[in-house]
Structures are given as C-alpha cells and as structure tokens.
Amino acid sequence: MDFQVLLKKNESLFDYADIRAQTYTTDITKLNNQEVEALNKNEGYSYGIRVLINGSTGFAHSTKLNDAEGVLKQAIKNAKLLKQGVKINTPGEKISDKIIIKPQINPFDIDYKDKIGFLKEVISSLRKEDLIKNATATLIFTKENNEFITINKKISQEFIQTAFVCEATARKLNEIEHARKTLGAFKGYEALKEIDEEFLKSLKDEVITNLNAKHAPVGRMPIVCDQALTGVFFHEAIGHACEADSIINKSSVFINKKDQKIGSELVTLYDDPTMDTWGRYTYDDEGIKAKRVPMFNEGVLSGFLHSLETASIMNEEPTGNGRAQDPSSLPLPRMSNTVLKPGTSTKEEMIKGVKKGIYALGFSGGVVEPVTGQFSFKAERAYLIENGEITTPLKEVTLSGNILQTIKLINAVGNDPRDAKQASYCGKSGQHVNVADISPHIRISEIIVGGRV
C-alpha cells in the first residue's frame, strides 16, 4: 500500500504521523582460520508508524507486508492510552527527495567464492605470524533503502555499506592476547582495497606487542591519546552529554552550562553527518536535513544535538540528529560524525612535554555515566612515557575520570586529524547506529589510569 495515501486517508485521526520503511539485504561471509563459519544472505522489509495525538506519542511496527492499516490503528490506540505528552513541533514543509549513494563495484554482484578467497588471503597473512594461533575475518555487505513518509514528505535514502572485521588471537605459553580491527565505508567492494598488508600488519603488531606488554602502573598521570582514542573520548565523554534528551532528563553534566566556558579553550567540537564517513546521512530519521551542529566553541558549550521532540521541549531548532536503528525503534538524539577541530601541536611535542605518563592508542570500548560525569575507556595499545620518550609497551590500560574536570585539563591538541575509518556502532537505549570520530592527538594533564600492579 502507498503509505502517503494511507496517511492522507486517515489524516483526521492524528495530529501528526510519520512512517519509516526499510528494505534491506545483508550478505555475511566469515572465516575462522581457513574454515567457513558463516555464509549467508538476509533480506527483509519492516516499517514503523509513529503518531502524535494531543502531544502523546504512539508507535507500532511490523514486518507484515499487508498490515499497514492495522499497524496505524495500533499506533493510534497506543497514543490514546497516554493522557499527557509533549507538543512536538513538526516541520510542515513539502519535501520530495531521493538520495542514492552508488558504489563503484556492487558487492552483491561478486561471487561468494571470491569473497571466501579474499578472506582466505587475509587469514593466511595473519597466520604467517607464528604466535597468532587463531584468526577470523568477516565481510558484511548491506544494502538498504530507507523511506521516510509524512503527509508532506517523501524521502528515500539508498546506500550500500561495506564492513570488514578481522580478529587475531596470539598465544605464548600461558599468555593469550586478542586484537580486532575493522573497516567501514559507504562504498562497495572497492572499499576492500584498503585491506592491504599494512592494515593487517597493524593488527599483528598490536596483538604481538600486547603479548609482550607489561601491566600499566595505576594512579593519576598525564596522557597523550592518539586520534582514535581521542575520538572515543570526545564521543563518549562529551558528545553523549550534549545529546538533548540527557539534558531534559537531567542526566547530563552539561545542564545549565550552555554558553559557559567549561572546557579548555583548545576544544572546538561539532557533529557533522554531511561528511563522507561511517556516520553519514543526508536526512535524519525524522526527515530533517543533516547539517554541521556545534557542541563546543573554544571551550564554550555552544549547542546540543536534537530530535524533533527534544527541540520542541527545549524550544530550539531541530538539528537533524533524530536517529533510529531501524523502523522498529523510535528516533533519539544521536551523534553522527564527531569532529574535534585540530590544534597546532605535533605528536612529538606533546610526548616531549611528559615526564612520566602514558601514550595510549586506539580504543576497545568506552562508557560514560552521564549523571555523575564519570567515564572510562580502554586503549587498544599503550606505552609508558618516561622523560619525554616512549618506552615500555603496556597492556589493559583503562582510563577514567570525570568529564567536567577532564575537559579543562586538555593542554594540547594536535595538528594531525584522522578518521579511523572503523566500522563503529554507538549503542544507546538498545539501539545501535553507525558513528565516526575525526580527531587529532590530544594531551590531558591528568587522568586515572587503571591497570594492575
């Protein structure tokens, strides 16, 4: 059924309604050592209908093809169950747009044998290193067509995504280490050109370095973070606290701090879905055109990321950050590509300025407690810095601190911004969306380093 016709037919039953529908195909190939662990193709269709009635939100979703009318009725029923709600300002302008991101080589045209062959080469390269006892490699190709429909809007966004994941496990006597590296791009099969010997060498180096690394010292000390770790720090510790729902829910340390200088003046941070990286989109999942949104300007908290609902509650303009994992989820304010404006320092200068501290690279996860501002994140690799020189490799380095204190303690920002090009997903309220971080190196004068003694 034509969704727009359905909405027009039932227009009198709601104040506002939108429909998100998704057609998807994924193709997964995974090898564990030289054995095929998974080879599959998944295709499907789902849609979700949101209605607003007297400020109440009702939402229903389904995979049933011919039940859109029933799903709309259910969404209306759900909205009517609620007595109170929030008046959401819904932009009424007419939009009809079709965005297609075309790959150079359609990965769905490539034979499974070639995909298996590619992964076999990856595994062979990793297993050349004697200490690597297990290697897995996975290719995930996704084709999606996401439609957004209201009475006035009809937007479709179609793309192909390529994600590559490889993991290596090394063993030396009783020591085991494991490392993982990913690549994600809105490209087709051509994206795999980046999986070269250098890419795989960095994974081998990481797992072997960690195998021989010592546990980190514990306590408070200065730290120099590489681009990937800086990216995760700003995403986890700062970006989430700028998502407007956390301000409304009073679960952000940035409440009542707008337009105040709360960070180092070296910090200028923004969200930008229009950049061609893993967090990109043209319209958010509420039909709002994506744009660059400032969060920090020279240490001053300058803006929040909004969905339609949070923008209405806070009486601000929607920013195009209302994102949902899929049509079965409601949009929430989310980051896309988080960008830290580069500074003037070189990595060498930053390290030279540290008497005893840590040089930490990459990330393997991070969390933040938005209410208290406590955060912790883990580096993939780390080295001790002694008298301005990088020395001993360290493992299991976790860094934690408090957002409001730490953002003041950034005393150098590098001139070397980089997109880690990873297939990164941010999780919030059970929903995962693609995100990217584009950051230079930074130095923080003091952070809690957790390791073992």
- By CB under 8 A, residue 243 contacts another protein: no
Neighbours of 78 (CB within 10 A): 18
Give the residue, chosen from 87, 106, 201, 219, that forms a contact with another protein under the rule CB under 8 A. Answer: 219
CB under 8 A: which stretch of 76-84, 262-270, 280-288, 350-358 binds another protein? 76-84
> Does residue 389 belong to the site contacting another protein (CB under 8 A)?
no
Pairing of strands 132-149, 332-333: unpaired
The answer to the question of residue 1 lying near another protein (CB under 8 A) is no
Which of 24, 146, 162 has its CA nearest to residue 103? 162
Among 17, 19, 21, 60, binds another protein (CB under 8 A): 60
- Contacts of 229 by beta carbon, 8 Å cutoff, 6+ apart: 360, 361, 362, 363, 377, 379
- Among residue numbers 430 through 449, which ones bind another protein (CB under 8 A)? 448
Measure Cα distances from 342 to 132, 168, 225, 439, 441 in Å: 37, 33, 14, 7, 8
Site for another protein in 265-324 (CB under 8 A): none
CB of 157 to another protein, least distance (A): 20
Nearest CA to 223 out of 452, 446, 440 is that of 446
Q: Residue 319: CB partners within 8 Å, gap ≥ 6?
A: 271, 288, 291, 293, 303, 304, 305, 306, 311, 333
Q: Which is nearer to another protein, 8 or 427 (CB)?
A: 427
Q: How big is the site for another protein, counted in residues (CB under 8 A)? A: 82
Give the span between the Cα atoms of 48 and 18, in whole angstroms: 8
Told to check if 79 binds another protein by CB under 8 A, we report yes
Whose Cβ is closer to another protein: residue 213's or residue 350's? 213
CB of 427 to another protein, least distance (A): 9
Of the ranges 41-49, 88-96, 287-295, 347-355, which one interacts with another protein (CB under 8 A)?
Answer: 41-49
Q: Which of 102, 250, 355, 432 binds another protein (CB under 8 A)?
A: 250
Residue 201, phi then psi, degrees to nearest 5: -65, -40
In sequence order, what DSSP letters do the residues of 224-274 get, joined into one string? EE-HHHHHHHIIIIIIGGGBHHHHHTT--TTTT-TTSB-S-TT--EEE-TT
Tell me the Ramachandran region of residue 55: left when phi exceeds 0, alpha when psi lies from -120 to 50, beta otherwise: left
Contact call for residue 74 and another protein (CB under 8 A): yes
- State the nearest-atom distance from the C-beta of 292 to another protein, in Å: 28
Residue 380 CA to residue 303 CA, distance in Å, equals: 31
Instruction: Tell the smallest beta-carbon distance from residue 298 to another protein (Å).
Output: 27
Provide, rounded to whole angstroms, the least separation between the CB of residue 166 and another protein.
14
Question: Which of 16, 59, 199, 425 forms a contact with another protein (CB under 8 A)?
Answer: 59
Instruction: Rule CB under 8 A: say whether 390 interacts with another protein.
Output: no
Which positions from 318 through 337 interact with another protein, judged by CB under 8 A? 328, 330
Q: Binding residue for another protein (CB under 8 A) from 320, 366, 414, 440?
A: 366
Question: Nearest to residue 419, comparing CAs of 445, 447, 438?
Answer: 438
Within 123-182, which residues bind another protein (CB under 8 A)? 133-134, 136, 169, 171, 175-178
Of residues 174-213, those binding another protein (CB under 8 A): 175-178
Span of 94-102, 255-263, 270-278, 390-398 interacting with another protein by CB under 8 A: 390-398
| Nearest residue to 227 via CA among 377, 382, 438 | 438
Nearest to 161 by CA among 180, 202, 125, 189: 189
Longest distance between any two alpha carbons in the chain, whole Å: 73
CA distance 60 to 340: 38
Q: Does 257 bind another protein (CB under 8 A)?
A: no
Q: Which of 124, 249, 344, 391 binds another protein (CB under 8 A)?
A: 249
Report in angstroms how near the CB of residue 376 gets to another protein at its nearest.
Answer: 4
Is residue 64 a contact point for another protein (CB under 8 A)?
yes
